[in-house]
Amino acid sequence: MNLFTRDHQPMTLRPYQRDAVEAVYRHLRAQDDNPCVVIPTAGGKTPCIATICRDAVQLWNGRVLILAHVKELLEQAAEKLLAVAPDLPFGIYSAGLRRRDLGCAVTIAGIQSVYQRACDVDAVDLVIVDEAHLIPPDGEGMYRQFLTEMRTVNPDVRVIGFTATPFRLKSGQICAPDNILNAICYEIGVRELIVQGYLCPLRTKAGTVKPHTDQLHVRAGEYVAGEVEDLMDDEQLVLSACRETVEHTQDRKSVLVFASGIRHGQHIVRTFHERHHVECGFVCGDTLPFERDETLRRFRAGDLKYLCNVNVLTTGFDAPNIDCIALLRPTLSPGLYYQMVGRGFRLHPGKTDCLVLDFGGNVLRHGPVDQLRITDTDAPGNGDAPAKECPQCPALIAAGYANCPECGYAFPDRQRTKHQATASTDGILSDQVTRTEYEVTDVFYAVHVKRNAPPDAPRTMRVDYRIGFNDYVSEWVCFEHDGYPRQKAETWWRARSQEPVPQTAADAVDLAQAGALAPTLAITVLRAAGEQFDRVVGYRLGARPPGLESSEGLPEYAAPVDDSEVPF
């Protein structure tokens, strides 16, 4: 990539990205500490970083330093700066990219290259840290050493963190009053971005042969690496995992495998080749740079279907074509678990979801990736399991499901999540139904396209109701259909809004997200024996809002910032 190419078209931020940028400015103006922004992997943190850099320089005449730990993130920051602010001068300071640019309004730097050179960088107003969960909790790490020296150069410097995981890979939350980052100023979750169509959905299945991790020792919040590799390098476990991976990926295009060590990874590669006659690439920390670059090029291009790695393809690795991830390593780190499965979040043409094959018990250990259970101790928790395995398929799903969404298996009542319901009548016989009213804590709207539908097929508006900590019920409103489905959609809309009934699902979603609908306070859910999915059959609604034309209209996400009040 030519980092000096300036023929990019201006970039428009997504609504949540603009909200994140504005939240940073509000925090910097109102507080004296350092904020953190949480946006999921593949949700687009870098455009937010580039926008803050542009505003800091062009509106407020400031200087900015962007810090990251791998050259891929530095390249992404440079690319987005060119797209957001083509005329903004910036430099790159990185040994890996063979650049030593200083004196620019914006400097993009690798922490390994710059951490002893705060005085050379000179005073900056803002330091933006990408992948901020890597800042250590204490001690004299590179980030802490550099930021301490930077405060000597400019005592008023402010730090902004960006991360997908507001907790460290091995322990604890990254924001605290006595940490470098002090408070989360903006956060959006994985599920919200999947529902809105910005992230790819994940599906998960467990391996048949289960490793017994109860005998592994824990050091600094993680299993001892050598013991993990010895456990996972078992011949039968490797054979079973490779066989199941090949079976489950007949229709998949790009499969990324995470191994527990170099010896284990090489064992996996041999098994794919000798038993299944398929090529599997391999990269690790010892792989020569030119060999690694060529292997990754082939994988991204689709010339290499299987790629096994050891500790290298987590943060900073971007391959949107990945549609299957095989976890052949157990981890106690919720951050590492998230970073591994997060490689499958990116959207790609022809990709409808990403399959996660978990051979290390990670989903059962940590829960669904959008509801990670975080602790500040080194020992695993003793509470209820945040996820469960379907005994029939075997999909790994959130603990709150009453029926497996993959195969329809009905879990026994004792496994169902208990909700506080205002009314409930359980059926005694098999042909009876259950109607239960649930309080609704949040509602998400998105345009839904039926899988494998032709391009001109009608779309629907999908509505997801959150009815518990990790339980959702969905319904589909058919604005683009004819006959009864359209009539039902019109009735649904008029009960909630004073706006005209929209003609398309996209218009309905835009209006819903702009505040045109009455709030849903509770829903009544019908569960019937033999039916795979629950149905919403009743609602308790709040007051309908006034028409948007009589209020403030649709939200103006790109509203100009008041540049008379510098936020740093």
Question: CA torsion, points 241, 243, 248, 249, in degrees to nearest 10?
Answer: 100
pLDDT-wise least confident of 6-10, 121-125, 405-409: 6-10
Between these two residues, 379 and 287, which has the higher pLDDT value? 287
195 in a domain, yes or no? no
Does residue 274 share a domain with residue 146? Answer: no
Is 50 exceeded by the pLDDT of residue 381? Answer: no
154, 188, 222 - which closes a domain? 188
Is the pLDDT assigned to residue 435 strictly greater than 60? yes
pLDDT for res 400: 57
Q: Which tokens belong to 255?
A: 């499969």
CATH number of the domain within which 377 lies: 3.40.50.300
pLDDT tens profile 518-537: 999 999 887 764 455 678 88
Whether 231 and 320 map to the same domain: the answer is: yes
What is the per-residue pLDDT across 398-412, written as a single tens digit (0 to 9) for each?
665 666 666 666 766
Do the beta carbons of residue 337 and residue 362 sit within 8 Å? yes
Mean pLDDT of 382-404: 62
β-pair partners for 159: 127
The Cβ-side half-sphere exposure at 177, using a 13 Å CA radius, reads 0
Confidence at 419, pLDDT banded by 50, 70, 90 = very low
Q: Please write the tens of the pLDDT for every residue from 56-83.
A: 999 999 989 888 877 777 888 888 888 8
Residue 412: DSSP 8-state: P
Tell me, yes or no, whether 232 and 98 share the same domain: no
> Do residues 27 and 135 both lie within one domain?
yes
* Residue 252 structure tokens: 């998949």
pTM of the model: 0.67
How confident is the prediction for the chain on average, in pLDDT?
81
**Which pLDDT score, from 0 to 100, does residue 236 have?**
93
Task: For residues 352 and 245, state if they share a domain.
Answer: yes
Q: State how far the Cα of 190 lies from the Cα of 192, in Å rounded to an integer.
A: 6
- pLDDT on residue 528: 61
Task: Decide if pLDDT at 558 tops 80.
Answer: no
Band (426; pLDDT cuts 50, 70, 90): very low
Q: Is residue 394 part of a domain?
A: no
Domain membership of residue 227 as a residue range: 200-383
The candidate with the shortest Cα–Cα distance to 479, out of 453, 514, 509, is 509
In this structure, the number of other CB atoms found within 10 A of the CB of residue 209 comes to 15
In a domain, 469, yes or no: yes
Looking at the structure, do residues 274 and 247 belong to the same domain, yes or no? yes
Q: Which amino acid is at 179?
A: N
Q: How many domains does the chain have?
A: 3
User: What pLDDT shows up at residue 170?
Assistant: 52
Rg from Cα positions in the chain: 25
Q: Is residue 159 part of a domain?
A: yes
- State pLDDT tens for residues 155-189: 999 999 998 877 665 556 778 888 888 899 999 88
Q: Answer whether residue 352 is part of any domain.
A: yes
One domain, residues 30 and 170: yes
Domain presence at residue 378: yes
CA 291 to each of CA 263, 297, 368: distance values in angstroms, whole numbers, following the listed order: 18, 10, 35
Task: Work out the pLDDT band at 432, boundaries 50, 70, 90.
Answer: very low
28-38 pLDDT, tens digit each: 999 999 999 99
